[in-house]
Amino acid sequence: GAGVSQSPSNKVTEKGKDVELRCDPISGHTALYWYRQSLGQGLEFLIYFQGNSAPDKSGLPSDRFSAERTGGSVSTLTIQRTQQEDSAVYLCASSFSSATDTQYFGPGTRLTVL
Amino acid sequence: QKEVEQNSGPLSVPEGAIASLNCTYSDRGSQSFFWYRQYSGKSPELIMSIYSNGDKEDGRFTAQLNKASQYVSLLIRDSQPSDSATYLCAVNRNTGGFKTIFGAGTRLFVKA
């Protein structure tokens, strides 16, 4: 079946602009995660959605970052007033249910802020 | 101190040898432990998950967990050049809210 998809695959923007990154999880997966990965670094946890529960936003680096998940499926990560340090690959993952389940990653969105 | 620590490597082993990858974590409330493999320019993919102390084997891979020592490892037997990648240790904890913490990864290079 279809895996996790993300769009766009690449995004180049100017400093100060807002960007929206989209994630379509695997159908039936209730848990969805956002991470970012800077060049040569590990994954930095951003936010976790589980079903209809309030999301865990503890990893969001600043109030310029926000995410929502509509209808328990598609998620959008929004970065307002982008800065050069926001440049990274943003990865989305989904899992069947709880945090103990395997996370399946999408291909990522490479964000470049000029 | 980072929550999840790995030796960045690179770890270089000859083809056919055993590769040993190590990871330590700081939060004793951690519950679930994962090893992901990430090829250059690609997304991570799960290799092994482990939840209780001891060893778990799957083919050429063995994960080892020691919660008392806050240590998790991955052994790759009969290493192949195709195993050359970055291996990420990930830990799920639920203290102060759920979070998955990834280590920075260990680069493995298997020489043919």
Residue A113 pLDDT exceeds 80: yes
Nearest chain A CA: its distance from B47 CA (Å): 10
Question: Is B100 in CB contact (< 8 Å) with chain A?
Answer: yes
Yes or no: say if A107 and A17 are a contact pair by the CB < 8 Å rule. Answer: no
B88 → closest Cβ in A42, A100, A108: A42
pLDDT in tens, B32-48: 999 999 999 899 999 99
Mean pLDDT of A67-82: 93
Average pLDDT in the A64-79 region?
A: 93
Residues in A closer than 8 angstroms to B102, CB to CB, are 35, 42-45
Lowest pLDDT segment from A50-59, B56-65, B75-84: A50-59
Q: Give CA separation, B25 vs A56, B6, B29, B51, in Å.
A: 21, 9, 10, 14
Using pLDDT thresholds of 50, 70 and 90, give the confidence band for residue A1.
low
Q: What is the mean pLDDT of chain A?
A: 92
Q: What are phi and psi of A6, to 5 degrees?
A: -135, 150
For residue A1 the two structure tokens come to: 């079946």
Instruction: Give the nearest chain A residue to B89 (CA atoms).
Output: A42
Q: In this complex, is the C-beta atom of B51 within 8 Å of any C-beta atom belonging to chain A?
A: yes
Taking contacts as CB-CB distances below 8 angstroms, the residues of chain A near B99 are: 45, 48, 56, 58-59
- pLDDT value, residue B2: 79
Residue B25's pLDDT is: 95
Helix (H, G, I), strand (E, B) or coil at B6: strand
Q: Which residue from B45, B51, B99 is facing A100, i.e. has the nearest CB?
A: B51
Rounded percentage of chain A residues whose pLDDT exceeds 90: 71
Tokens 């400093």 locate to A15
pLDDT in tens, A9-46: 999 999 999 999 999 999 999 999 999 999 878 899 99
**In the 8-state DSSP scheme, what is residue A30?**
-
- What span, in angstroms and rounded, lies between the C-alpha atoms of A31 and A48? 7
Confidence (pLDDT) at A2: 81
Does B66 have pLDDT greater than 60? yes
